[in-house]
Amino acid sequence: MINITFPDGAIREYEQGITGFDIAASISKSLSKKAVAVTLNGEMQDLAEPINADANIALVLRDDTAALELIRHDAAHVMAEAVQELFPNTQVTIGPVIENGFYYDFARDEPFHADDLQKIEARMRQIIGRDAKFEKEVWTRDQAKQYFAAKGEDYKVELVDAIPEDEDVKIYKQGEWLDLCRGPHLPSTGKIGNNFKLMKLAGAYWRGNSDNAMLQRIYGTAWASEKQLKQYLFMLEEAEKRDHRKLGAEMNLFHFQSEAPGSVFWHPKGWSLFSSLIGYMRRKQTAGGYLEVNTPDMLDKGLWEQSGHWEKYGENMFTTTTPDERVFALKPMNCPGHVQIFKNGLRSYKELPIRLGEFGKVHRYEPSGALHGLMRVRSFTQDDAHVFCTNEQVTEEVIKTNELILSIYKDFGFTDIRVKFSDRPEKRIGSDEVWDKSEAALKNAITKAGVDWELNEGEGAFYGPKLEYVLRDAIGRDWQCGTLQVDLNLPERFGAFYIDKDGEKKTPVMLHRAMFGSLERFVGILIEHHAGAFPLWLAPQQVVVCPIVSDMDDYAIEVRDALLAAGISAEVDLRNEKINYKVREHSLQKIPAIFVVGGREKENGTVAIRRFGSKAQTILPLAEAVTSIVLEARAPDEV
């Protein structure tokens, strides 16, 4: 007999080899119907798996969050079966659960088409209707390899080979179909339910490696209930409405065109936003002890060879050859330029730390398929800075920078921040000893700063380890923005030094950091975060004044001028249109405030204010209205 402990602490005795299903049945019939799996000492397993020793168990019911993973995983299996039934010459590869759903990668000579998805989905519903049991078998390695080889499933053979020697080769059958799988699964396909949808087709490399074959991936979403599925689909629609590319065009902020792929044409309103960000950041940096500089966009190839960029970053660089045959590269980073400023003249330890900031526009030849609106471009502006300091100052500078970064995100309403620590990449410069030092220094500093971080192995910059600040927007999407890197390599390569107390030359440590990261991307994030409805301080156009009839035009202009004089960006809409029309149009443009002026307002020297997102009208004397807008339009650092 074995002792089974339940979540409420109750202990019951059962015969050895009893299954989760039997245990559920021993408690109640309804429980045995609802249960889909069991966690044994915290690990989920099949309901049908025998339990052979004392254990803590908890039954997993179909509506539990934990069951969602099984629903999605099983949906992937069913999709694979459906695909093989419909398209016999298709190999199956892997099909994991992902956030919100699942996918399965297939190898097939013919491409799938969008309308195949409906067919596959219909077949999946049939398979689910058959309600076949998921049955686990343990095979020998050879048996599995022979089976899959005979079926022409080359990828599965490779997967069997990759299973560690001490692990069983598990097979799950669902009716006639079977797959190599670690499990666990639901009791039967019927438990998956019908709340799933195939979403899209995509190419994906086998094992995520671009040297490997391109497979065909089908993505699906699956949920426990219809309500959840609908909610998810609704959320996707909402996200689409916020798409910065769509809003950017509608709100006349910027555009792209094919002659400059990946480079932005900023329109007046978009540039106003962009400039507000720079103005804000300039104030924050000045307050933080930074000095602003500006360095050349194009520098001789030789300098990039010296920095190591030519070798390690060359494939991302734009170059140009002048009529006199010199080769220049457009800067992909600002650091080499900043080192030149540091080096220009003798530096004393008394000057350190020196913090040089630049709103530098960098150019990077990004793979064509990576381009994506403002989020991924080929030329972008960084709020880049380099802090030159002594070894002893690293910790304090990292802590300061970290504080500054977090306070900035907070000003923009981002409080859900994750920090990733990326250590040495394969493609790098400098010795392992130097890397040991710089990684330790950065780790030590952020630990002191009290930052929780997760390791991002091998993702550092080629010259040093880095922190990446990932922020989560209003609808739960993550964006990488800030970065903070410790660099012991470039200063040495460039022969930068300062004279220390003892009169000796010392090589400074260089911290690279950006807070917005890319201004372009940050604007994109803000557009999506606010769904285009910017807070007053950022809104490119803050107020529009609309006269109701043309007799009020002169007063409307007076109101507009009062706003302009107070530093508010305001326009007046004198068009021969009804007030309804004007309100609609300016609301679609998400202008934060519409000042409506008619006969009553003109007579009383007031304005009727309608704020974006509300139908309410507030009547205020003009001077008061201007003051309240001015107060609200202050940047967060000026409040």
Partner RNA sequence: GCCGCAGUGGCUCAGUGGUAGAGCACACCCUUGGUAAGGGUGAGGUCGAGAGUUCGAUUCUCUCCUGCGGCACCA
Residue from the set 308, 464, 465, 517 that interacts with RNA by CB under 7 A: 517
Residue numbers 251-310 binding RNA by CB under 7 A: 256, 258, 261-262
Which residue type is seen at 638? E
Classify residue 349 by its DSSP letter: G
In 11-120, DSSP assigns E strands to: 11-14, 18-19, 35-40, 43-46, 50-51, 55-61, 91-92, 97-98, 101-107
558 scored as a contact of RNA (CB under 7 A):
no
Residue from the set 137, 142, 226, 551 that interacts with RNA by CB under 7 A: 551
Residue from the set 51, 339, 601, 626 that interacts with RNA by CB under 7 A: 601
Residue numbers 63-92 binding RNA by CB under 7 A: none
344 scored as a contact of RNA (CB under 7 A):
no
Strand order in the sheet with 509-518: 291-292, 354-363, 379-389, 509-518, 478-487, 466-472, 417-422, 453-456
Which residues neighbour 145 within 8 Å (Cβ) at sequence distance 6 or greater? 157, 160, 161
357 scored as a contact of RNA (CB under 7 A):
no
Residue 244 burial (CB count, 10 A): 24
Between 188 and 422, name the residue whose CB sits nearer to RNA.
422
Between 60 and 594, name the residue whose CB sits nearer to RNA.
594
The site map against RNA for 233-252 (x = CB under 7 A) is: ----------x-x---x---
SS3 state at 174: strand
Residue with tokens 């998400």: 590
Q: Rounded to the nearest whole angstrom, what is the least distance from the CB of residue 49 to RNA in the complex?
A: 32
Between 299 and 377, name the residue whose CB sits nearer to RNA.
377
Number of residues binding to RNA, judged by CB under 7 A = 73
Residue numbers 606-625 binding RNA by CB under 7 A: 608, 610, 615, 617
Dist CA 437 CA 443 (whole Å): 10
Between 34 and 420, name the residue whose CB sits nearer to RNA.
420
Classify residue 596 by its DSSP letter: E
The length of the chain, given as a count of residues: 639
Beta-strand pair 543-547/593-597 = parallel
372 scored as a contact of RNA (CB under 7 A):
yes
Residue from the set 138, 149, 214, 287 that interacts with RNA by CB under 7 A: 214
What's the Rg (C-alpha) of the chain?
A: 31
Burial track 460-492 (b if 16+ CB lie within 10 A, e otherwise): bbbbbbbbbbbbebeeeeebbbbbbbbbbbbbb
The site map against RNA for 440-459 (x = CB under 7 A) is: -------------------x
Residue numbers 460-499 binding RNA by CB under 7 A: 461, 466, 468, 480-481, 483
Residue from the set 370, 440, 565, 631 that interacts with RNA by CB under 7 A: 370
209 scored as a contact of RNA (CB under 7 A):
yes
Residue numbers 568-597 binding RNA by CB under 7 A: 576-581, 583-584, 587-588, 594, 596
The site map against RNA for 530-549 (x = CB under 7 A) is: ------------------xx
210 scored as a contact of RNA (CB under 7 A):
yes
Q: Rounded to the nearest whole angstrom, what is the least distance from the CB of residue 442 to RNA in the complex?
A: 15
Q: Where is 238: in which H helix or E strand?
A: helix 226-242
Burial track 26-61 (b if 16+ CB lie within 10 A, e otherwise): eeeeeebebbbbbbbeeebbbbbbebeeebebbbbb
Residue numbers 25-64 binding RNA by CB under 7 A: none
Active site positions, annotated: 335, 364, 382, 384, 386, 466, 512
408 scored as a contact of RNA (CB under 7 A):
no
The site map against RNA for 161-190 (x = CB under 7 A) is: ------------------------------
- List the structure tokens of 91: 């190999």
SS3 state at 613: coil
Question: How many angstroms from the chain centroid is the CA of residue 97?
Answer: 19
